[in-house]
Amino acid sequence: MLENKSILITGGTGSLGKALTSHILNTYPNLKRLVIFSRDEQKQFQMAQEYPSNKFPQVRFFIGDVRDKERLIRACKGIDYVIHAAAMKHVHIAEYNPDECVKTNIIGGQNVIDACLQSNVERVVALSTDKACAPINLYGATKLASDKLFVAANNISGNNPIRFSVVRYGNVMGSNGSVIPFFINNKRNGILPITDSNMTRFNISLEGGVEMVMHALFNAWGGEIFIPKIPSYRIMDVAEAIGPECEHKIVGIRPGEKIHEEMITPSDSFYTYDLGKYYTILPSVTKWNLQEFLSNFNGVKVKEGFAYTSGDNTEWETVETLRELIKEYVDPTFNV
């Protein structure tokens, strides 16, 4: 499907952007062009050392901010597929700088939509977060607004065959600013700060996130919010897996944090379908036939009132599995 195609990744120098870049280049050698779009000059410089032009002539590095629509329009020229991963995502920073979060996550999202509609882009996948589900913090609220924009973009595309979809998932294991590398770094101090001993989170590896994005890119009909079936972990199990000898210091939850995360609420259940490996929340009105969609993916509607939360999950990581995953996906030299 990517034979002689061009892809643009916004936020391409982030954790998932780099993982997507590696996967795409290794899997699709006949890709025409891969454009890494981000505003971080230093990260682009570092990433360019990994992908020098003499070995990866199809890779382009494009400095730009999703707040700048004109720059996005230029970046989208000749692009077939867009993966929108750029976001302001740190909860406490967004709480302190709300206007900046709105500019990047909402206005920036609409700029991506407008740039894609004005170009010949065929498919767009926007990355979301579990915090967009029943949000209590600004980051989650802006990502919910962004999700709504990308879903609704299918309604304003007219005769343009472009398809917009969204992928929503939990904490990416080992991503920048996440709890596991934070605990590993703090282990040497002998103290692991615990926000709340009851806290749980969904867990997905970078590879799992990449697989889900590619699934949406290839299979979306337009308007879906894809949600993976993934395990949860307890924060105390993460602490035990990384630093069993460390003191656990309860510091309290930060502004805007939940004890348990959600990805599907009971209110979403009226439009949620089980597709096997993934759930999908569909818009109330689609441009395509719902029964054909369900038949194509063997989709089954979930029961009314169904909810998918990290605290009530049926699949859990254990201390042992967490140690294995950390060694495999985060730090190959990790030892307790």
Catalytic positions are 131
d(CA 14, CA 3): 25
Q: Is the dihedral of CA 21, 23, 24, 28 positive or negative?
A: positive
Please classify residue 49 by burial: count the beta carbons closer than 10 Å to its beta carbon, then call 0-12 exposed, 13-18 middle and 19+ buried. exposed
- CA distances for 9 relative to 69, 88, 174, 242, 275, angstroms: 15, 15, 20, 33, 26
Instruction: List % helix, strand, coil for the chain (3-state, nearest 5).
Output: 40, 20, 40
Structure tokens at 188: 């040497």
* Pairing label, strands 278-281, 272-274: antiparallel
- The answer to whether 131 and 265 have CB atoms below 8 angstroms apart is no
d(CA 186, CA 242): 10
d(CA 248, CA 300): 43
